[in-house]
Structure 1
Amino acid sequence: MDGERSGEAGNPADLFTGLAHKKVYIETYGCRYNFGDTANLVAVLERYGSTCVSTPEEADAVVINTCTVVGPTERRMLRRLAALREKPLFVTGCMPIVQREAILAVCSPVIIPPEAIREASRSIRTIGKESVGIVQIAQGCLGRCTYCLTRMARGPLKSFPEQEIREKIRTYAESGVYEIQLTAQDTSAWGRDTGHRLPDLLSDLCTIPGHYRLRVGMMNPATAYCILDDLIDAFASDRLFRFVHLPVQSGSDHILQQMGRDYTIREFEEIVSAFRRRYPDISLATDLIVGFPGETEEDFSRSLALIGRIRPAKVNVTRYSSRPFTGPFEEKDFPDAVKKDRSRTLNAYAEEQYRALNSPFLGMSLSCVVTEKLRPGSVMARTATYQGIVIGKDLPVGTVAEVCLKKDRIYFFMGDLISAAPP
């Protein structure tokens, strides 16, 4: 491979020349923001005459889009990089920014900074062919979470211009995409660095014509709390899925303080209650970390109790993983067995809540819209509250369907098609 195998090229455009007119395999790890980077990269590579393929074996070059949130994922990525090092290899994402030496210890790739992908994507003003659109509205955050390495990788908050966001949504809507996901490290912080606010952005985006719906991505309770009333008003639009993702991370104020999360459990529950008073059927997703240094049995019990009180539709459970350069890195960690046990307990309890929430819907007929094709003969549809329903039919994205819910798969329903109206 021509070019610098272990560093960035001088001209940002040169970073993509080694991928031009090649069959490229891309492997993506981590959050929706990372998947947004990959979607942007695919659109850029199409301009370079490249073709994306589904396996590394058929590829002329491999791109690994990395995540550094937890240790197990990092180790898995390093194993993959080592296994693929004989291929022309390109690496992007968070790891090259904060853990470059770990990458260079196992391979000698070309590093593509995520910012280079963004700038290249902005210049071509096109989108990829994914069935669910991802629109990045900001990079970085205002947080000071003591466990987080991503904030060091992505830096301080940088809100993207409203007109640029509008244009991307308009392009997705015109291409026939129905579900468009707004993503950032913290979507509710959008505009705090530029004198703007997320509620105003959402209200403006909802005026874009087309057959689509917006899903608002992860919001830090600390920044959502500051704009709560106007944020709730913005969700009145039918353009938004009635779905909020508010990572609480712990049910203990003591642990939240150690994490540097800048809100209390009372404030978190105020946000949840306020949304539910206005929209009783709204879906709530949250995140919890188990085994954080110093988490007592009482702290963990508080997390379980919180899940019982708020009854979320989805809980993303993460076992604490010490990350380099972060506050608790030097603190005594729990044995893996303790973290695994707490993770299993919390997941099992969360699934009890899902079943209780889902049970009344079995046998009901609901309206939904097809958002993506899963495989031949199977599609995913979403209700207005973002409930997932798998339909065993080949239906175009954007189809409005009436479905009878037949089976509860905990995280989604299986449904029988009653009627369908084409997009």
Structure 2
Amino acid sequence: MESYGCTYNHADARRLEAILEGLGCTLTGPDEADAVVINTCTVIGATERKMLRRMAAFADRDLYVTGCMPLVQMELIRSVCTPHVIRPDEIHERYGGVDSRGAGAIGVVQVASGCVGRCSYCITRLARGRLKSAPAEEVLDAVRSLVASGAYEIQLTGQDVAAWGLDLGESLPGLLQEIAEIPGRFAVRLGMMHPASVLGILDALIDAYASDKVFRFLHLPVQSGSDAVLERMQRGYRAADVVGIVDAFRERYPDMMISSDFITGFPGETDEDFRQTVDLLWRAAFVKVNITRYSRRPGTPAAALKNLPERVRTERSGALLRQANRIYDRYNERWIGRETPVVATEKHAPGSTVCRNPCYLNVVVEEDLPFGFSGRAVIVENRRHYVVGELVRQV
């Protein structure tokens, strides 16, 4: 099985693995496999092209495809292969829950699919449809189950986590308060939250982050710092709204890690529009920024707009990344010499362990620690995308 895309999509893959194992299947390498499953993503053109190459590579095999791509681009898929299709909602119906175990001490809960937005460039909303929130008790049961199985980091995922409950007459802050009352040792990492959805619950959401069972981490995809571009994107907010959200969180939690997504070279973006994006990046001091060059997606309103030259999109992407790297370094360096609580959650290399602190800072400890280990570490080195910590004592 090959899986691509967002946390939500990878959670679908893990659930599908569990279903297939229950039917007597064994996960193995592509050379030994009787069947191949590709869980697709089509968020940008480069990813779409990669999906087509992977499907073509297994076109002579017993091939199954799932994820977003078969929901909106089946004719394109049939141009390279004729696979079986597994719809994501079939996975959800068969699995019967919203939780899945990730690597290490991580558990994932899919709190909602779809969104309430109308972004002009987004093909994912065409694939996943309108918002469908998981009932609160189903989410709470999933968290309880994952904590009982030994998960420490509980990732709540969806296309827009902040919109959870809008279709049920409920809201995310209330859900977080109920999660915080669940016994056990764990912390929740909230997934991507659309700024327009955050604005409607801002004060209550900030209060919900006061719990020790919520990482002080916010993923706020902004996409542009230009109001003119945001309007063409149909994002439903202005740059000043983003500044207001960031300032409100940082006033309460000064060390809070706030990440974002940006699209460079959206149709009609001028040099001044891009300058405003750079200004917003610095004003908000976003840490961990996902930058993509605009990519026309079929069936979206923005597909009718005239593309900027690829050279312009590429240059702006590189320029924004260079600025973002300076912000990463500045955020990490403020931690140097400080002592912070850490919990071991993942392993990426022998002899070292990935830990998280309360702000979700990526702290690598160069020791082999068991998952769930709690201790305190002094931050001694900045390596841009993570910091190095030395343990001072165990808790």
Could you tell me which amino acid in structure 1 is paired with residue 185 of structure 2? H
The answer on 1:43 being equivalent to 2:4 is no
Could you tell me which amino acid in structure 1 is paired with residue 226 of structure 2? S
What's 1:288 paired with? 262
What's 1:269 paired with? 243
C-alpha change, 1:44 and 1:129, in structure 2 (3 Å) is farther
Counterpart-to-counterpart distance in 2, 1:165 and 1:416: 36
Deviation for aligned residue 1:129: 6.0
Deviation for aligned residue 1:407: 2.5
The answer on 1:32 being equivalent to 2:7 is yes
Could you tell me which amino acid in structure 1 is paired with residue 51 of structure 2? M
Deviation for aligned residue 1:130: 3.3
C-alpha change, 1:183 and 1:298, in structure 2 (3 Å) is same
Cα-to-partner distance string for 1:83-127 (whole Å, 9 max, x where unaligned): 12222211100000000111111112110000011111116x874
Given candidates 141, 146, 154, the residue that maps to 1:167 is 141
Determine if contact 1:250/1:256 at 8 Å carries over to the other structure. Answer: yes
How does 1:191-230 map onto structure 2 within 5 Å?
A: 191-230=165-204
Cα-to-partner distance string for 1:214-264 (whole Å, 9 max, x where unaligned): 001111110110111111111111100001111111000000000000011
| SS of residue in 2 equivalent to 1:294 | coil
| SS of residue in 2 equivalent to 1:309 | helix
How does 1:342-357 map onto structure 2 within 5 Å?
A: 342-357=316-331
User: Which has the larger displacement, 289-298 or 107-116?
Assistant: 107-116
Counterpart-to-counterpart distance in 2, 1:134 and 1:386: 16
Determine if contact 2:114/2:131 at 8 Å carries over to the other structure. Answer: yes
Cα-to-partner distance string for 1:377-412 (whole Å, 9 max, x where unaligned): 222100000000112222111101222323211111
| Percent identity of paired positions between Structure 1 and Structure 2 | 48
Could you tell me which amino acid in structure 1 is paired with residue 96 of structure 2? R
Determine if contact 1:39/1:130 at 8 Å carries over to the other structure. Answer: no
Counterpart-to-counterpart distance in 2, 1:393 and 1:85: 44
What's 1:147 paired with? 121
Deviation for aligned residue 1:128: 4.2
Determine if contact 1:43/1:128 at 8 Å carries over to the other structure. Answer: no
| SS of residue in 2 equivalent to 1:51 | coil
| SS of residue in 2 equivalent to 1:181 | strand
Could you tell me which amino acid in structure 1 is paired with residue 68 of structure 2? C
Gaps of 5+ in 1: 1-25
Could you tell me which amino acid in structure 2 is paired with residue 71 of structure 1? G
Counterpart-to-counterpart distance in 2, 1:311 and 1:127: 33
How does 1:90-239 map onto structure 2 within 5 Å?
A: 90-122=64-96, 127-128=100-101, 130-131=103-104, 132-239=106-213
How does 1:318-333 map onto structure 2 within 5 Å?
A: 318-333=292-307
Counterpart-to-counterpart distance in 1, 2:99 and 2:308: 47
Number of residue pairs aligned between Structure 1 and Structure 2: 394
Determine if contact 1:41/1:117 at 8 Å carries over to the other structure. Answer: yes
Could you tell me which amino acid in structure 1 is paired with residue 205 of structure 2? L
C-alpha change, 1:220 and 1:126, in structure 2 (3 Å) is closer
| SS of residue in 1 equivalent to 2:27 | strand
Deviation for aligned residue 1:159: 0.7
Deviation for aligned residue 1:164: 0.9
Deviation for aligned residue 1:332: 1.3
What's 2:373 paired with? 399
TM-score of the two chains, using structure 1 as the length reference: 0.90
Cα-to-partner distance string for 1:183-230 (whole Å, 9 max, x where unaligned): 111011111111111110111111111111100111111011011111
Gaps of 5+ in 2: none
Counterpart-to-counterpart distance in 1, 2:274 and 2:99: 46
Counterpart-to-counterpart distance in 1, 2:116 and 2:339: 43
Deviation for aligned residue 1:370: 0.6
Counterpart-to-counterpart distance in 1, 2:6 and 2:102: 19
Counterpart-to-counterpart distance in 2, 1:312 and 1:320: 20
Could you tell me which amino acid in structure 1 is paired with residue 27 of structure 2? C
Could you tell me which amino acid in structure 1 is paired with residue 161 of structure 2? T
User: Which has the larger displacement, 38-47 or 200-209?
Assistant: 38-47
TM-score of the two chains, using structure 2 as the length reference: 0.96
What's 1:413 paired with? 387
Counterpart-to-counterpart distance in 1, 2:362 and 2:100: 25
Counterpart-to-counterpart distance in 1, 2:99 and 2:279: 46
Counterpart-to-counterpart distance in 2, 1:193 and 1:208: 24
Question: RMSD of aligned C-alpha atoms?
Answer: 1.5
Could you tell me which amino acid in structure 2 is paired with residue 172 of structure 1? L
